Amino acid sequence: MKTITNKRYGESYVEETLENGLHVVLWQKPDYEKSLFMMATPLGAMDMKQVDEQGKELHFPAGIAHFLEHKMFEMGDSDVMELFSRMGASVNAFTSYTETAYYFSTTSDVKEPLNLLLDFVQELDISEESVEKEKGIIIQELHMYKEMSDSRLLMETFSSLYQQHPLRYDIGGDDESVNSITLQQLQDCYALNYHPASMILVGVSKEDPKKLLALIKENQKKKTFAPISSVKRLAYTEPKQPARESFSFTMDVSLPKLSYACKLQGIEDVYARTKAEWCIKIMLDAVFSSLNPDFQQWLDEGIINDYVGSEVDLGKDYGMVMFYAETTKKEAFLAVVKAVLARISSADITQELLDQLKNRYFGQSVRSLNSFDDIAITYVRSYFDQADFFRLLDVLYEITLEDIQRVCAALKEAPGTLVELLPENCS
């Protein structure tokens, strides 16, 4: 068991990789009653194509990671959620584009729910009949999200941006891909991606890490796992141009919603990627928020209302910056976006404002170390990115005006796509 201590943040944790390959990280918070444990695999919605150590490619339908998440909660005739509830614990799970995570929180004793978390995640207990039944449930869930205007706007934006990249699919896939998923595919995908050597367990608790680690080891030594060939996500060659320059659709909404997104190149190195994302976020807040004196004028002129914002998301092989708003003044909004992009690409920010925003974000990062959920998911993602948790926090503090100038210059030539959500009665 190795102890990692960081003096700047006043935090420490212990870690150990067990004999079966499971990486365990335990973060002690003695002043809190709550405990949270998260077990995660790097299998996400983007893992439709994987390659093993021998170079063999493995292809899965869109939505298979999300489908597996649903099926993991089956343990024979038992209801996993009900079992956790009886133990005084709350359990949940999520699938993102880059990982699947299962977690519980409790203010009671952690022994029983921790054993249950390890047990239900490490055994896939499904049948042909249950798989077929689940298809209808998942498709109904996908249709529900399609009826949510914000969710639909985002998905149509991704579909407009990407020609080849799996981001063009919903995390849950679509009707066709879900219906095509077989029992054998689920079993194969599980065997490849849920082996202990592929996973991580993060615990944040007041309990003694040594006792927790002993409990985890006791659970794991009772199980055997067949050796596997490690797999990784297959890289995609994504064209620079968006799949669609513009796209419009209608829904039952009272006002039009627009999104304009710029397509950027991905960045392989996690520290460079994190720095670039922070640089763009800083500029977005500097020129596309109430910090910009023009923002109030845009509100007064009815170009935007309270439903307005921006996002930046950079990955290894993708990147995008998105602006969105609810507005009837399409051309005026696009003119605002164009002016904002010009200011961002020219790094139009003072040193004073840069320092102000860095201090604000750094304070938020420090406060997040009191959030058990934030600690767990941030650590999981840094681990899967093979990055140091605290080093990623430090990246923000190191950003200079020169960094912003270098990073944001890429937005000058970035191609874009416009997506319009129009009211159904709009002619």
- For the domain that residue 148 is a member of, what is the CATH number? 3.30.830.10
**E strands along 29-142, which residues?**
35-41, 49-52, 57-59, 74-75, 78-79, 89-95, 100-106
What average pLDDT is seen over the chain? 95
What's the pLDDT tens digit per position in 349-369? 999 999 999 999 999 999 999
- Which H or E run includes 326? strand 319-326
Res 76 pLDDT > 90 = no
DSSP state string for 152-166: HHHHHHHHHH-SSSG
Query: Could you tell me the pLDDT band of residue 425, with boundaries at 50, 70 and 90?
Result: confident
151-192: pLDDT as tens digits: 999 999 999 999 999 999 999 999 999 999 999 999 999 999
Contact between 78 and 92 under an 8 Å Cβ cutoff? The reply is no
- Long-range CB contacts for residues 350-359, cutoff 8 Å, separation at least 24: 351/401, 353/286, 353/291, 354/282, 354/286, 354/399, 354/401, 354/404, 357/282, 357/285, 357/286, 358/282, 358/396, 358/397, 358/399
Structural domain boundaries, residue 144: 2-233
- Residue 370: inside a domain: yes
- pLDDT of 426 reads 64
Residue 354 lies in a domain: yes
Domain boundary among 200, 233, 266: 233
Q: Per the structure, how many domains does the chain have?
A: 2
Beta-sheet pairing, 35-41 with 100-106: antiparallel
Provide the pLDDT for residue 77: 80
Say whether pLDDT at 74 is over 90: no
CA distance 225 to 256: 53
What confidence score (pLDDT) does residue 236 get?
Answer: 81
| C-alpha–C-alpha distance, residues 333 and 324, integer Å | 9
Query: Do 96 and 206 lie in a common domain?
Result: yes
Residue 238 falls within a domain, yes or no?
Answer: no
What pLDDT is recorded for position 406?
Answer: 96
Q: Same domain for 52 and 198?
A: yes
Q: 306 with 179, same domain? A: no
Please state, for a pLDDT cut of 70, what percent of the chain lies above it.
100
Helix ranges (DSSP H) in 122-250: 128-146, 149-161, 175-180, 183-193, 209-220
Whether residues 294 and 187 fall in one domain: no
Residue 213: helix, strand or coil by DSSP?
Answer: helix
Judged against a pLDDT cut of 80, whether residue 427 lies above it is answered with no
